[in-house]
A = this chain, B = another copy of it.
Amino acid sequence: MHADKDLTDSGIAAYMHGLGRAARAAARLMARADTATKNRALRAMAAAIRAQSAALVEANRLDLAKARAEGRDAAFVDRLTLDAAGIEKMARGVEQVAELPDPIGVISEVRKRPTGIQVGRMRVPLGVIGIIYESRPNVTADAAGLCLKSGNACILRGGSEAIHSNRAIAQAIAAGLAEAGLPHTAVQVVETTDRAAVGALITMPEYVDIIVPRGGKELIARLMREAKIPMIKHLDGICHVYIDDAADPDMAVRIADNAKTQRYGTCNTMETLLVAEAIAPAVLPRIAEVYRAKGVEMRGDDAARRLVPDMRAASEEDWRTEYLAPIVAVRVVRGLDEAIDHIETYGSKHTDAIVTANQAHADRFLREVDSASVMVNASTRFADGFEYGLGAEIGISNDKLHARGPVGLEGLTSQKYIVLGHGEVRA
């Protein structure tokens, strides 16, 4: 089927159900594939990506031409571009997944019970993963690699803007699967660009076990309204750094600087700085100097503006805003309790940090701030699968259930109970 082919909605639903059935069947074979076979497929995929480099660039050129013809901006074109370096990085990424330990089949927590049975847990794949993403074609290879290593089948639905690139990458993936004797239906790229395909993918729980959306807020909002399948979903990153009265001032300045300015557009960038009133006179003017030099606009409450007079006044809206830009909201708080209250009220449960030398304050912050990542004396920018040592990341979850924070291979698995007996029956 081709992207340009005209299909009715029911035709698309039938097509998507076909992919679903095939994925479900492939998932059974993937669940029992051994580590060596999965790694062979991953390495063959990487080799095929490298071998087909010229064809990938050619396919990508078609997508780029369309994007330019449609007047897309430079950032969009940048995300869409696959050059030789990007292709090598993609291949290397797939090889790195091969090097990660295989989570599947690992048995843990085995305990002998008084009845004689042994009870433990075995890590198993989730089954079929649906990935919905936009523009960046490298997600096709990254996601396929992670799903394959974790013993899942997957259905990949990239954006229409990258359809030629995604199809070309899919051919390299198929070559890798074939070389290892794994079913080609273990990784399926949706061939139609019709939006109805997404609608079908997120409403067939009989075939798809979890949806991982990778895209902007509009995409996530639509999926949350319509999906009938659980999602690993990533919402806002309204991250805070709280400078406690017991903070080391130099450390406070360094972390406030890094958390805001090391990169502006990432979800783990600090958006609001909270400063205890006792330490604010000592640190806030110094931090303002750093921000001023880097062109970061400050928006503060009255107390902050008394210490830094050139600061704009913050509105209620500022506390709720993920700027993703060189803007920072600043608030002076009485102390730890007011900082935790502020984070509870305005935060997005993503990543929040305290700077303090007071162990009791650090402990309370760690325990009481209800976010996926909570940090002591470190920059929020560390909230990342690679920085955490997960090896690779399929996404970040703001949810509390199943997966929380950066999601690696483990987030694509489940644990079942296993019982090993010797003929025991219940009395």
- A contact set with B: CB distance below 8 Å: 28, 31-32, 105, 111, 113, 115, 117, 119, 122, 124, 126-127, 209-210, 230, 248, 250-251, 254-255, 257-259, 262, 344, 353, 355, 364, 366-368, 370-379, 381-383, 387-389, 400-402, 404-406, 414-426
Partner of A417, one of B364, B402, B404: B404
> With A113-B388, A367-B31 given, is the CB distance from A378 to B419 under 8 Å?
yes
Question: Which residue in chain B gives the minimum CB-CB distance to A251?
Answer: B423
This chain: copies in complex: 2
Partner of A404, one of B248, B251, B389, B414: B414
Contacts of A377 in B (CB 8 A): 420-424
Contacts of A115 in B (CB 8 A): 382, 387
> With A401-B414, A414-B400 given, is the CB distance from A364 to B32 under 8 Å?
yes
Alpha-carbon distance A375/B124, docked complex (angstroms): 15
- Check A425 against B388 for contact (C-beta < 8 Å): no
- Check A248 against B378 for contact (C-beta < 8 Å): no
Expressed in whole angstroms, the minimum distance between the Cβ of A128 and any Cβ of chain B is 11
20 contacts between A and B (CB under 8 A): A31-B370, A32-B367, A209-B401, A259-B425, A366-B418, A370-B416, A373-B418, A374-B419, A375-B418, A375-B419, A376-B420, A377-B420, A377-B421, A377-B422, A378-B421, A378-B425, A382-B419, A383-B417, A404-B417, A405-B416
Contacts of A406 in B (CB 8 A): 417
> With A377-B420, A404-B416, A419-B382 given, is the CB distance from A425 to B258 under 8 Å?
yes
Chain A binding site: helix, strand, loop or mixed by DSSP? mixed
Contacts of A255 in B (CB 8 A): 423, 425
- Check B28 against A119 for contact (C-beta < 8 Å): no
- Check B31 against A416 for contact (C-beta < 8 Å): no
Expressed in whole angstroms, the minimum distance between the Cβ of A377 and any Cβ of chain B is 4
Alpha-carbon distance A159/B259, docked complex (angstroms): 51
Alpha-carbon distance A401/B251, docked complex (angstroms): 40
Expressed in whole angstroms, the minimum distance between the Cβ of A179 and any Cβ of chain B is 24
- Check B374 against A418 for contact (C-beta < 8 Å): yes
Expressed in whole angstroms, the minimum distance between the Cβ of A229 and any Cβ of chain B is 10
- Check A420 against B105 for contact (C-beta < 8 Å): no
- Check A379 against B424 for contact (C-beta < 8 Å): yes
- Check A117 against B418 for contact (C-beta < 8 Å): no
Alpha-carbon distance A80/B422, docked complex (angstroms): 38
Partner of A426, one of B119, B126, B368, B381: B381
In the complex, besides A257-B425, A382-B424, 14 extra interface pairs with C-beta distance below 8 angstroms are: A115-B382, A115-B387, A122-B366, A372-B416, A373-B419, A374-B417, A376-B420, A376-B421, A378-B421, A378-B423, A378-B424, A379-B424, A400-B414, A404-B414
Alpha-carbon distance A230/B28, docked complex (angstroms): 26
- Check B417 against A230 for contact (C-beta < 8 Å): no
Question: Which residue in chain B gives the minimum CB-CB distance to A379?
Answer: B425
Alpha-carbon distance A126/B372, docked complex (angstroms): 12
- Check B425 against A368 for contact (C-beta < 8 Å): no
Question: Which residue in chain B gives the minimum CB-CB distance to A368?
Answer: B32
Contacts of A122 in B (CB 8 A): 366-367, 374
Contacts of A379 in B (CB 8 A): 421, 424-426
